[in-house]
């Protein structure tokens, strides 16, 4: 477990909500992941993850008006050699108001091969104003090198406030300290 990493997120996204379909580049997010503790016995591995999303790049419909921060505490348990359970709790801001949104994830991930993984995830949000949304998400990851990952995923909305679907593909670079 590296004690600290620099993160750069670049993603393509398509979603449909209320009959409208939008596809394009998400804004670029820069952040870091800081290790809090390693997994030991029943105690999970815990990390703090924070990002700022920049309003300068990406499809206009996806861009925040201002810099948008988010943070979460991430925990994971090893269930078997190639199977892990992860969960996150945090807050994010949308870059257009001072109101925050609570976020959660619960994910089961499996290594199919040494460089290919798959996941199934339940995720959602609880905004200060408006209705909560809940989604189910699944996808694949490919890591040809330890500090490079490609991913593809599809999420389906589970309630009226959630998008009908979100399809995504991304690339992650890790700059370890």
Alpha carbons 67 and 93: distance in angstroms, whole number: 9
What value does the mean pLDDT take over residues 132-150?
95
Is the pLDDT assigned to residue 177 strictly greater than 80?
no
pLDDT tens digits, one per residue of 79-136: 999 999 999 999 999 999 999 999 999 999 999 999 999 999 999 999 999 999 999 9
- Residue for token digits 């348990």? 77
Of 46, 49, 51, 50, which Cα lies nearest the Cα of 1?
A: 46
**Which pLDDT band, with edges at 50, 70 and 90, does 171 fall under?**
confident
pLDDT tens digits, one per residue of 17-43: 778 888 998 899 999 999 999 999 999
Instruction: Give first-to-last CA distance, the chain, whole Å.
Output: 11
According to the model, what pLDDT value does residue 82 have?
96
More confident residue, 177 or 46: 46
Alpha carbons 55 and 162: distance in angstroms, whole number: 23
For 105-121, the three-class secondary structure string (H helix, E strand, C coil) is EEEEEEECCCCEEEEEE
Alpha carbons 154 and 55: distance in angstroms, whole number: 25
Instruction: Tokens for 72, please give them.
Output: 């979460």
Is the pLDDT assigned to residue 2 strictly greater than 70?
no
């Amino acid at each position: 477990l590296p004690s600290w990493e620099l993160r750069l997120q670049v993603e393509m996204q398509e979603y449909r909500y209320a009959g409208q379909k939008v596809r394009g580049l998400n804004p670029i997010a820069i952040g870091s992941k800081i290790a809090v503790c390693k997994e030991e016995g029943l105690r999970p591995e815990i990390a703090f993850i924070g990002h700022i999303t920049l309003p300068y790049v990406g499809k206009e419909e996806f861009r925040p008006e201002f810099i948008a921060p988010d943070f979460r505490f991430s925990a994971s348990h090893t269930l078997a050699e190639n199977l892990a359970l992860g969960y996150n709790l945090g807050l994010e801001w949308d870059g257009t108001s001072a109101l925050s949104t609570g976020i959660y994830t619960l994910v089961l991930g499996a290594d199919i091969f040494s460089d290919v993984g798959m996941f199934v995830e339940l995720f959602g949000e609880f905004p200060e104003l408006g209705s909560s949304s809940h989604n189910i998400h699944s996808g694949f990851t490919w890591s040809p090198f330890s500090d490079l990952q490609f991913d593809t995923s599809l999420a389906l909305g589970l309630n009226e406030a959630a998008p009908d679907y979100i399809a995504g593909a991304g690339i992650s670079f890790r700059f370890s300290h």
